[in-house]
Structure 1
Amino acid sequence: MKLTGPLLLLVLLAVAGLSRAQVKTSLLDLTNSIGSILPALSRPANHSRIFYAVMFDAGSTGTRIHVYTFINSDSAGLPVLDNEMFHSIKPGLSAYADSPEMAGHTVRMLLKVAKKTVPRLEWKRTPVILRATAGLRLLSPDKAQALLQQVQHVFDESPFLVPDDSVSIMNGTNEGILAWISVNFLTGHLKAQTQTTVGILDLGGGSTQITFLPKLRVSCVFRSLSSCSYLGHGLMAARLATLGALGAEGTGESHINSYCCSYKRCIIHTTVSVSSPGYAGYKLCYQEVLKVVKGIIHQPYQLQDSNVFYAFSYYFDRAVDAGLIDGVQGGKLEVRDIKKRAKEVCNKMTKYPPISSFLCMDLTYITCLLKDGFGFKESTVLQLTKKVNNVESSWALGATLDHFHNLKIH
């Protein structure tokens, strides 16, 4: 992904944060920079100020389409997000690594959503973009490229505006930064008068990200954005790593013992199953997942308990499955709440099988990731959310905002 404008500034901040260098930029400067990315509309003054963008999120477990409707601001500030049309399809594009033409079919089906949402007269000036994440990052370069070529072919056949870099794989750091932009845009923390921001925790299938703006001691205007991404530590990948089953598919039938599974077998692949060696419980399960986290996931520099974090994707989904939050409204949880429910599920599942055979392992991994990985206290409060102001919590909106300044929309 070519980085310019505001995202380049944020990436530089992230790098500086990792090196602990001081970068003289303020939140006001950042907001002003983002405000300069709006597309120039070469249309009559009395014409509608509405414009559209189509962003595909090609994740490891599914492909999602976001069709955004914006209203051009009267000022030089940020645009107004009027609406989002969202739809998703499972599995992800990486599932078609050996039949890439199916990846093209998936994208073609989702484009029907865009055609129904965007007025026909706006198709030629509405950009269509796809960014792939951990699912394709974990594939071999040849297989990933074959999938991207199929998507590019579908885009080129579509009636929408296709930018030069419309299809690509996004690295994990950018994923975290763009998600941070999305959530702070939606919560109003990118406005010039705002002096605070919120951090983000994203747990996908193949990777996980943590991004926040630390409160450095030297001065309120000496700030460095901290963004860390861990490939292979999303929830689905962590399951395989915990069980030592990475690459086990296609190698013949095998069975794995795990203290994180109940007496009922957990099917990972059609040839790999898992069950308990006789006793399943939280403590023994925690020791299993700790091997995946310890020494690999690190506490970010300048992480403070005062930072407000929004957690989404599988953080949200598993909290809903565990009955900790409402599936629509979300809610606030302390880290200890997740730990407590993990203990309850793991220690009782031999008698009372959970709704998901992996719920014990997943909740235990999330607890371990937050505590032993990122270093959060048990009293740390997280805002679990799927949507913010009726818009999906993800990097997609941030990627759309970043892309505007490179596009000449007519």
Structure 2
Amino acid sequence: MRRRERPDFFPPNVCPINAKANTFYGIMFDAGSTGTRIHIYTFVQKSPENLPEVEGEIFESVKPGLSAYADQPEKGAETVKTLLDMAIDAVPPHLWKKTPVVLKATAGLRLLSEEKAQALLSEVKEVFEESPFLVPEDSVGIMDGSHEGQLSGQNQQTVGILDLGGASTQITFLPRFEETLKETPGDFLTSFEMFNSTYQLYTHSYLGFGLKAARLATLGALNMEVVDGQMFRSSCLPKQLEAEWHFGGVKYRYGGNKEGETGFKPCYLEVLKVVRGKLHQPDEIRGSSFYAFSYYYDRAADTNLIDYEHGGVLEVRDFERKAKEVCDNMERYNSASPFLCMDLTYITALLKEGFGFRDNTVLQICNM
């Protein structure tokens, strides 16, 4: 693969921790549909007149996500406790009672019934209250779609953010042109203040357009009553494949087109039905550069497009090239994941036909 140079506007993936007397900490849990992630942030206030700065971060994750424990909320909370034990080791004991801990859940819990979601959150809140950390009143909750992208902003950068979860996908960027603001739906914009100025941030979460939800949509199984034993087939899957898959508390049977076509071209036509005309396409992003997280990272790393440890810089066309390679040689890649062709094709279609990115749009693929 041709190696790309990192553009100047992408900072290095290094977060040194420099403990000082004026250091304090914050613990943030991101409870997504496919996994729960803990971010232990170190802040340093260099002078009383200045705002604290992020000095370092410790990150870890567990799978599956909390929504997988919809019927076993206590077990779901145990996964959070396992991660929280890391924070106990990372934060100095004399700062425990001053260190806030917060968990925000995203699309995975929004797909559950309110009763099951609240049962999970109650168990998590109990884990927090039994810990030595500071537990704010609103420490546990479900974020609405407009807030998901706001937590991903780069401190001094104006590049955009793309996040692809299991149930939803998010896009966030700071518009540069007045025309973008005029043409954007009102609920896609949110105002925030920084350095005594007010900014309009473009941020939206598309529920049902995460990677796993897109699999169901491609199979024709999303938002439908599944009859026991019903089989869903796709040209994006190996011909002889027949298997079962659990998502959102439902069991699905799926397989390849035994008699029909398989490969990238028929698969792309299937996936196009899922994304074409369904997402807003702001013109200015076509020439912009974005950070991309979660399943963008996972699938790029799974297929050696990027380094697993450090991520890498790709163009949109790299996902399409790899999708063609995998889909047209499914037998060779079947052991990795039966959904690999479908996933890469969906990512390609989402970026090009969904959001409207150009083939040469630069993406910094990061783990988060």
On whether the aligned pair clears a TM of 0.5, the verdict is yes
Go from structure 1 to structure 2 and tell me whether the alpha carbon gap of 1:223 and 1:146 turns closer, same or farther (over 3 Å shift).
closer
Query: Matched residues in 2 for 1:331 and 1:203: separation?
Result: 17
Go from structure 1 to structure 2 and tell me whether the alpha carbon gap of 1:218 and 1:365 turns closer, same or farther (over 3 Å shift).
closer
Q: Which moved more, 1:210-219 or 1:277-286?
A: 210-219
- Aligned residue for 1:284? 266
Go from structure 1 to structure 2 and tell me whether the alpha carbon gap of 1:243 and 1:82 turns closer, same or farther (over 3 Å shift).
same
1:117 matched to 2:90: yes
Query: Matched residues in 1 for 2:230 and 2:179: separation?
Result: 56
| Residue pair 1:62, 1:93 contacting (<8 A) in 2 also | yes
1:341 matched to 2:322: yes
3-state SS in 1 of match to 2:286: coil
- The match for 1:207 among 161, 168, 180 is 168
Q: What is the one-letter code of the residue matched to 1:156? A: E
3-state SS in 1 of match to 2:334: coil
| Residue pair 1:248, 1:272 contacting (<8 A) in 2 also | no
- Aligned residue for 1:385? 366
- Number of aligned residues: 327
Q: Which moved more, 1:302-311 or 1:319-328?
A: 302-311
Query: Matched residues in 2 for 1:200 and 1:178: separation?
Result: 10
- Aligned residue for 1:262? 238
Q: What percent of counterpart residues are identical?
A: 56
Go from structure 1 to structure 2 and tell me whether the alpha carbon gap of 1:62 and 1:351 turns closer, same or farther (over 3 Å shift).
closer
* 1:67 Cα deviation from its structure 2 partner: 1.3
- 1:162-311 matches, within 5 Å, as 162-180=135-153, 184-185=154-155, 188-189=156-157, 197-216=158-177, 224-246=200-222, 251-263=227-239, 264-265=241-242, 267-269=244-246, 272-278=253-259, 279-300=261-282, 302-311=283-292
TM-score normalised by the chain length of structure 1: 0.74
- Aligned residue for 1:97? 70
Query: Matched residues in 1 for 2:335 and 2:77: separation?
Result: 37
Q: Which moved more, 1:64-73 or 1:357-366?
A: 64-73
Go from structure 1 to structure 2 and tell me whether the alpha carbon gap of 1:266 and 1:100 turns closer, same or farther (over 3 Å shift).
same
* 1:353 Cα deviation from its structure 2 partner: 3.3
Query: Matched residues in 1 for 2:23 and 2:222: separation?
Result: 47
Query: Matched residues in 2 for 1:327 and 1:69: separation?
Result: 25
Unaligned stretches of 5+ in structure 2?
1-19, 181-196
Query: Matched residues in 1 for 2:355 and 2:252: separation?
Result: 34
Query: Matched residues in 2 for 1:222 and 1:52: separation?
Result: 27
Query: Matched residues in 2 for 1:170 and 1:241: separation?
Result: 24
Q: What is the one-letter code of the residue matched to 1:207? A: S
Unaligned stretches of 5+ in structure 1?
1-46, 190-196, 387-391, 393-410
- Aligned residue for 1:25? none
1:163-204 Cα offsets, whole Å, 9 max, x none, are 011001011221112212xxx21xx33xxxxxxx11111111
Query: Matched residues in 2 for 1:218 and 1:351: separation?
Result: 47
* 1:110 Cα deviation from its structure 2 partner: 1.9
- Aligned residue for 2:354? 373
3-state SS in 1 of match to 2:360: coil
Q: What is the one-letter code of the residue matched to 1:252? A: D
Query: Matched residues in 2 for 1:76 and 1:176: separation?
Result: 29
- Aligned residue for 1:84? 57
1:147 matched to 2:112: no
* 1:327 Cα deviation from its structure 2 partner: 1.4
Query: Matched residues in 2 for 1:231 and 1:79: separation?
Result: 34
- Aligned residue for 1:66? 39
Query: Matched residues in 2 for 1:351 and 1:111: separation?
Result: 40
Query: Matched residues in 2 for 1:379 and 1:89: separation?
Result: 34
1:54 matched to 2:54: no
| Residue pair 2:288, 2:362 contacting (<8 A) in 1 also | no
Query: Matched residues in 1 for 2:162 and 2:335: separation?
Result: 25
* 1:217 Cα deviation from its structure 2 partner: 5.2
1:72-99 Cα offsets, whole Å, 9 max, x none, are 1326444232322222221111111112
| Residue pair 1:249, 1:271 contacting (<8 A) in 2 also | no
Q: Which has the higher contact order (CA 8 A, sep 6+)?
A: 1
Go from structure 1 to structure 2 and tell me whether the alpha carbon gap of 1:291 and 1:52 turns closer, same or farther (over 3 Å shift).
same
Q: What is the one-letter code of the residue matched to 1:282? A: F
3-state SS in 1 of match to 2:200: coil
3-state SS in 2 of match to 1:224: strand
* 1:268 Cα deviation from its structure 2 partner: 2.0
| Larger strand share, 1 or 2 | 2
Query: Matched residues in 2 for 1:345 and 1:354: separation?
Result: 12
* 1:274 Cα deviation from its structure 2 partner: 1.9
The Cα RMSD (Å) is 2.3
Query: Matched residues in 2 for 1:225 and 1:369: separation?
Result: 21
| Residue pair 1:61, 1:92 contacting (<8 A) in 2 also | yes
| Residue pair 2:27, 2:101 contacting (<8 A) in 1 also | yes
1:359 matched to 2:340: yes
* 1:115 Cα deviation from its structure 2 partner: 0.9
* 1:104 Cα deviation from its structure 2 partner: 2.1
